[in-house]
Every structure is written in C-alpha cells, then in structure tokens.
Amino acid sequence: MNNLLSKHWHHLPLDEVIVLLESNATQGLESFEIARRQENFGPNRLTPKKGKSPLVLFLLQFHQPLVYILLAATVITFVLQEWVDSGVIFGVVLANAIIGYTQESKAIKAIEALTRTLDGTATVIRAGIKQKIAVAELVPGDFVLLQSGDRVPADLRLLQIRELQIDESALTGESVPVYKQVEQLPLETVLADRGNMAYSSTLVTYGTATGMVVATGDDTEIGHINTLIAGADVLATPLTRKINHFSKILLWVILGLAGLAFMAGRLHGESLLDSFMASVALAVGAIPEGLPAAMTIMLAIGVNKMAHRHAIIRKMPAVETLGSTTIICSDKTGTITQNQMTVQHIYAGGRRYAISGTGYAPVGEITLDASKIDPGTRPVLLECLKAGVLCNDSRLIQSNGQWLIEGDPTEGALVVAAAKAGLPQDAVERNFPRIDALPFESQHQYMATLHALDAETAVIYVKGSVESILARCEATCGDNLQPQPLNKERIHQEVEAMAAQGLRILAFARKLQPAATQIVNHDDVAEGLGFLGLQAMMDPPRQEAIAAISACQRAGIQVKMITGDHAATAAAIARQIGLAGTTDTAPRHFAVSGHTLAALPDQELMKTAQQAAVFARVAPEQKLRLVEALQATGHVVAMTGDGVNDAPALKQANIGIAMGMSGTEVAKEAADMVLTDDNFATIEAAVEEGRAVYDNLVKFITWTLPTNIGEGLLVLVAVFFGLTLPITPVQILWINMTTAVLLGLMLAFERKEPGIMAHPPRQPETPILTRELGFRIGLVGLILLAGAFVFFEWALSQEKSIETARTLAVNMFVFGELFYLFNCRSLRYSMFKLGVFSNPWLLLGVIAMALLQVFFTYSPAMNTLFGSAPLEMIDWVFILSGGLLIYGVVGIEKWLRRRAENRRDV
C-alpha cells in the first residue's frame, strides 16, 4: 500500500482506484483491515518539524558579532567595577535577546496552526455501517461521506456527487467555489483543475458526495505544504546582513587597535596595568554601545507607525526590509481586487449595456453607448435581469451598514445587477414564486427554475455556460420579447470580446409552459429555449490599489500578480491596474500559467520570473519556486497571501505579507506582516514607512560613528605619544550611553523626507554607508579628535587640573555630537528645509542633554563618580565654538555636494 501514495489519483479510472486501495465502494473497509492500515500509515495528522529547544533558541540570540562586542564591553566595565555601566550594557543585550527570542518562537506556530486544521470528525462507512469517527483515525481506502459545511478530512477521489461545490481558495487560490465531477482527468491536469478530487482542509459549500481516501496526514496536499513550510529558509534581512558584516569588521578593527595600544604603552615603558587600561579605554570608545538599542527602538517606532496605517508587523526587522523591497508578488483576489463579483456588461436584444458601480451595494446605472437608459423601456433587458434573480439560490443582505452575499458570489452579482435596474430580489420572488428547480450539475452546466407567470402561463428560466444554453435555444428574444432568428455567430463574437476583458460570462434563456406545469426536468429544457442574453462579470480592482501600484512602479518596485485564477481573467485585471508595461528591456511574456512553469528548468524559470507580470493557476510549490528564483537573481521579494497554499512562499520571501481579514491562521503565522484591511495600498504605505525607518537608521549610524572614531583615535594618539589619557573609560561610557539615548534616538522621530518614493529601492548589496557618508564620518571624527585633544592640552598648559581638562574633552565630544545632530536630521539638506521645529522630540532631547552635561560638570556627586570638575565661562565658549565649527563644516560639505549633483544633472 505505501507505494500507492504517489499515484496520480485524478488520472485513474474509478474501478482501478478502488482496486488499488483494496477497498469496497459500498461497504468500506473491515475492522481488521482498518487496524492494520492505522498501524501502517499512522494517524491522519501533520507531523510538526522538530525544532530547537527554547534554551537553544534563546542562546542563539547572543550569536551575533555586534552582541559579542557588547558582551565584551559588559565584561570590561565589570572588571573596571563600574557596576551601573556594566548592568546597563548587559541590559541592552538581554532586552535584544528577549525580543528576538519572542519573535522567532512565534514562527514555529505556523505548523501548529496547520495541524489544528485537521481536528474534528468525519462521516464514513465501515463494514457497511455509517458512523462518525475522529479525523485522525482515517486511513487510505476509507469510504467518506461529504455534505455542505463539512471540511474535507483527507485527500479523496470522488466517487459520487450531487451538485458538489468546494471552496478551495485556501489551497489553490481559486476565488470562487469549484464545481466537482467524477470523470477521469488527463495526467498533466494541475492541482487547481482536478475536479474529481477533494483535498484535505478545503470546505464543502454546496451539495453532497462520497469519496475514497487516497492520502492522509503528511501525504496529503496540505501535508506537502507543511513540508514546504518546514523547509523554507528564514532569510536574514538586508539590514541584519549589513550590520553583521559591519560588526565583524568593527570587531577585528577594535581588537587590532586595542592590541596596538597595548604594545605602544609597553614600548613607552608603561606598566602592564596602565597599558591594559589604555587598551580597555580604546575598545570601550570604539564600541557603539547604543547601536543595538537604537536599532530596536527605531524599528519599534516604525512598527507603531505602520500599525496606524493598517499594517501589523510580527517580526521587527521586516520594517526595514520593506524599504529595500525590489519586487512585490501580490495575490489578486481581495488584495488587488475587491473580492466582490460585479456584473459589468449585459448583452440582450442585440445590444451591449454597461452597468456602473462596484461591489455588492445595489447602486449604479445602466447605460447604452455611454448614455443612461431607463431599464423599464427595455423588456428583453429586464427579462434577462429577472432571469438572473429568479434562477438563483443566493441572497443580498445588509448587515451593520454593509452589503453582503449569502451564497455563491457569482449568483450574488446577478442579484445586485437586477437591483440596480429596479428589480429588488424580494419583490421579484414574491411576484413570480418558484414552483420547482433543477440545481446546477457540472455534467449539464446549467440551472433551471420553474415560476408562475400569470393565470395561464408558467415560465422556465435557465442560466449556465454559453455552450450549454445556446445548444438548447431555437430562437432569440427581441426587444419586446418576440421570437427572432438565433444568430449564434454574433453571440459568440460578444462572448469572445467579453472574455478578452477577463469577464466571467453566464447565458440566460427562458421557455414558456402551461400554468398547470408543476415539475421541471432535463427533457423540458433540452430544446426549444428562447435566448435572453448574457451577463458578464468580474471581481473589479480596487481604485486605491491602482494608485498604489503606480506609486510602487515610480519608486522602481516591480509588482507581479500570482493567483490561482485563470490566466485570461488575471491578465485582464493586470492590464486594468497598470501591470501591462515592461520594467526591463527584454521582451516580456506577460502572463504565464502554472502548467508552463512546471516544465521550466531553474535557469529558464529565473528569466521568466523576472519578465512576466502575471502567474496564473499556480500551485503552492510553484509559488515557492518563483520566490526562490527572484531571490536568486538578487531581488528583495515581498510576497502576499491569505491561504494555506501561500504559507511556504510567505515564509521564504524576504517579507511575507498575510491578509488580516480573509487570511488563514497558517498564513498569518508564517508572515512577517499582516494587513488589517487586506488592501494593496497598505503595502505601498508600509514600503514608504520602511524606507523612512531605514533612512533614520542610516542617520543614526552616520551620527554615532564619528564619536567612536574620535574617542578611539584620541586614546590611540595619547598612547602612541606617551601622553596622559584625555578621557577615561568611564567617561567614554557616559558619552556613548547618554548621547545615544537623549540625542541619537530622537532621529527616530524624523518625518519622511520629500521624494522618498521617487527613487528606486536600494540594491541589496549596497553598503549601509556610502563613500560620501564615510568621508563625512571621518571628517567629523577628526574634528572631534582635534577639538578634544587641543582643549585638553590647552587646559593642562593653563595649569588647570587633569579633571578639568578631561571635563573639557568630554563636553567637546557631547556638544560636538549635539550640533552635529542637527546636520544629521537630513543627510542631504539643511535642517532649515525640513523645518527647525518639525521634530519637537529632538529639541527636547537636546535640552535634556545640555542640562545633563551641566549636572555632570557641576554636581559634586558626578565629579566623584566620573572624575569631572566645574568649568569656567571661557571653557564653555571654546566648547560651543567647537560644536558650531562642526555644524558649519558639515553644512558647507552638504551644500558643495548638492551643487555638484545639480551641475551633473544639467
């Protein structure tokens, strides 16, 4: 039996399926055989991947180069018996570890959510007895009964059906319930088109069926998805990769300089202890202690801002990743479109009418050649709309101010279209009561209902596929419903024109009967119908999504549509929303089907993935392959999804985006971000916020590094020339920690700069700091070094105390950073262009830092703790002059760069 699990069950005749499974299509399995198979196949549940223990997960949070540096700083300050500083630095490390552990452990819940979807009971026939059993007890060969409302408990090959419809959107992405059948299908039939199969976790929305279990647990299609989720790589974000690279370089530079300082001290005859303390001072000065805390807090602020724009961030690094995104792969239904089928055109009496309005609200107009018409003057139009209302099992309801459909969305669209023409459902059904009905069956492709028309006449209304309806028609209804010759060629031309727009088309017909008729059967509608017309509908795109896609394209971000829908429908929507244009010079295969993708080798797939705009009828593993192919070509990929089938690709993507309203729990658990409004426009807003967060992080790094460079060089120069250290390790820690919190973090509250969405995304391999910023950092670091050293030596030459001289040097660093902070509010423009008071938090931080330095300088307690001393007024003049010098020099450097850029543009 085990070797049967890889069989293509949809391709086999029913008799062969039953034989291979050694079962019985009426009696089911016997008790002894069930026990043997349960032992052989195991329980019908998904096997969760064995993950790391909580302790290992927690300890791995410390396995980062930047954290090594901070742990080293903790040990160094502990050795120096600076308990407060040691505790603060370790507290930062511990907080980062706790946050990282909490978020990483959430990802494990994705598979647990999948497992929960298999809970419940199933109705089976075993040994000829109908019984309910736990889903976990099902085995291959079990004979299962399905009815409306059931969740399919395992993968089934359908044996018998009656009007069966199954919602497979969570598995395949198909936006409407799928009509099922039992006939054998070709081997190459893709998952979404396997109409003779019912798959585990999908939902029966209509009808009944019997089926035989062909796969359970991990061997089901949803089990394969579970395996894909477990195997998907969790990628480092562009920022974390760059920070790790930067940290590794910094680690070796610091160790190398500290070693040089130690050797220089020994060469100058310093004791082992003094040489070691000099090395410690250099290491502490060069370590950017505030960087991890600043990153965490800035990302958290970005999370809060995005929450106000309907985007909930589950994993904080995703905030920055959004700003690096180069491609957005979006689902169609509900994200780009409204997920509300809407009739847009009606063909009746030889004319095509347009209907305005979108969604389920019964508000809109009917026009002919762009002119509004009164439907009451068009009998054949009214009759076509009336047929759509009466030959219908769905209802339009209003709840909490919203219009909703109970039943099939396609049928709901017909009800809404009639209401726009003044034919409310309740009134029409009351005037023409239903007598009998023939439900839709996939083998017939139509539905028929019998209604009382008047005292002498009854009428049969029929709706269905164009082919099935036209084959039964002998005439068409003219403007006043009079019979006219049927022009099938003309009708097919209309059908082709509508289908080219991606519209779903239903045909309508009627047949008059004697009033005494009480039953309608298939023979009654086999011939002699009068053709009424066509109604063409689609799930219309969101207007805000169209604007958002345009904004993304202007920002250099490609948008691709990946959907379970048919290629023609998806391509039509793509053209409406502006995805038809190319974003490269190569010829573009606009829409590619899942069937085509399956045959492509990896190299060809990478090429196609970049060129195509639409991917239709895509299987779960193909979504994963597409994401991997785009990543292999260097793209940062954002992937949206709402179904179980999307979870592997969501986890593999650089940023997975799940739908909050329509999304499954599995998709939400696998995603980095959840949209609370299921709207593509929210993604564009989140990208904008992500770019702003990254900009502010770069501003912070550009602001903080000159201090570390200046402090490290100051210690190194003093050691090399055998001079007294101008700043002690404890004073260095004071500078680094207080300025990072009160000054640097205030950059997190900077507003987005103009034109943030007018430039292309950063290339993934672009370093955090450009050469221009590197030059600026080095320039400011040298000014801080020179100012602190000159002030220190000047104070000693004036026979001031060593404490006073060091206090001068400390304040030079603090106020130099304070003035430089105003330069860093924008890396390109002056703060006057941004608005001096546009960031009140920064001004509060500056005031708080200035007051704290006054306290540091004049408080006896601080003088004792940090070795500081009171300063005279002339000392403050020097300090403020040094700060103003930095602000002026950087301002001139930015102005010169802008002028050079403007000349190049000209």
Q: What is the DSSP string of 157-168?
A: EEEEEEEEEEE-
Q: Which of 217, 274, 324, 320 is nearest to 762 (CA)?
A: 324
Segment of 79-88, 248-257, 264-273, 829-838 carrying the highest mean pLDDT:
829-838
Give percent of the chain above pLDDT 70: 88
Determine the Cα–Cα distance for residues 37 and 227; give it in Å rounded to an integer.
23
Task: Kindly tell me if the per-residue pLDDT of 803 is higher than 50.
Answer: yes
Q: Which of 703, 737, 678, 717 is nearest to 886 (CA)?
A: 703
pLDDT number for residue 694: 85
Query: Which residues does residue 461 pair with via DSSP β-bridges, in sequence order?
Result: 449, 510
Task: Kindly tell me if the per-residue pLDDT of 110 is higher than 50.
Answer: no
Q: Which of 595, 761, 669 is nearest to 194 (CA)?
A: 595
Greater confidence, 297 or 625? Answer: 625
Determine the Cα–Cα distance for residues 740 and 746; give it in Å rounded to an integer.
9
User: 224-228, 495-499, 785-789: which range is least confident on average?
Assistant: 224-228
Greater confidence, 79 or 591? Answer: 591
Task: Kindly tell me if the per-residue pLDDT of 585 is higher than 80.
Answer: no
Greater confidence, 15 or 399? Answer: 15
Task: Kindly tell me if the per-residue pLDDT of 115 is higher than 50.
Answer: no
Mean pLDDT value of segment 370-387: 94
pLDDT number for residue 582: 42
CA dihedral 51, 56, 58, 59 (to 10 degrees): -150
Determine the Cα–Cα distance for residues 92 and 90; give it in Å rounded to an integer.
5
Greater confidence, 171 or 377? Answer: 377
Q: Which of 159, 236, 158, 245 is nearest to 202 (CA)?
A: 158
pLDDT number for residue 588: 46
- When pLDDT is cut at 50, 70 and 90, the band that residue 811 belongs to is very high
Mean pLDDT value of segment 506-511: 97
Determine the Cα–Cα distance for residues 815 and 861; give it in Å rounded to an integer.
22
- When pLDDT is cut at 50, 70 and 90, the band that residue 539 belongs to is confident
Contact 707, 744 (CB under 8 A): no
Mean pLDDT value of segment 145-151: 85
Give percent of the chain above pLDDT 90: 39
Task: Kindly tell me if the per-residue pLDDT of 583 is higher than 70.
Answer: no
Segment of 100-104, 290-294, 529-533 carrying the highest mean pLDDT:
529-533
Task: Kindly tell me if the per-residue pLDDT of 576 is higher than 60.
Answer: yes
- The overall average pLDDT reported for the chain is 84
Segment of 384-393, 492-501, 554-563 carrying the highest mean pLDDT:
384-393
Mean pLDDT value of segment 358-371: 92
Task: Kindly tell me if the per-residue pLDDT of 473 is higher than 90.
Answer: yes
3-state secondary structure (DSSP) of residue 842: helix
pLDDT number for residue 405: 86
Residues recognised as catalytic:
331
pLDDT number for residue 509: 97
Task: Kindly tell me if the per-residue pLDDT of 249 is higher than 50.
Answer: yes
Contacts of 899 (CB under 8 A, 6+ apart): none
Mean pLDDT value of segment 229-251: 65
Provide the token pair at 882.
Answer: 């040094």
pLDDT number for residue 507: 97
pLDDT number for residue 776: 94
Task: Kindly tell me if the per-residue pLDDT of 584 is higher than 60.
Answer: no
- pLDDT tens per residue across span 394-405: 999 988 888 988
Task: Kindly tell me if the per-residue pLDDT of 139 is higher than 90.
Answer: yes
Provide the token pair at 875.
Answer: 């000392």
Other CB atoms within 10 Å distance of the CB of residue 554 = 12
- When pLDDT is cut at 50, 70 and 90, the band that residue 238 belongs to is low
Mean pLDDT value of segment 710-726: 84
Greater confidence, 679 or 354? Answer: 354
pLDDT number for residue 876: 95
pLDDT number for residue 709: 87
Task: Kindly tell me if the per-residue pLDDT of 247 is higher than 90.
Answer: no
pLDDT number for residue 65: 64
Contact 645, 175 (CB under 8 A): no
Instruction: Give, for 144, the enclosing helix (H) or strand (E).
Output: strand 143-147
Contacts of 376 (CB under 8 A, 6+ apart): 382, 422
With b meaning 16 or more CB within 10 Å and e meaning fewer, what string describes 769-800? beeebeebbeebbebbbbbbbebbbebbeeeb
Displacement of CA 580 from its chain's centroid (Å): 22
- When pLDDT is cut at 50, 70 and 90, the band that residue 205 belongs to is confident
Q: What letter does residue 207 receive in the DSSP assignment?
A: E
pLDDT number for residue 391: 96
Q: What is the DSSP string of 647-703?
A: HHHHHHSSEEEEETTT--HHHHHH-SEEETT--HHHHHHHHHHHHHHHHHHHHHHHH
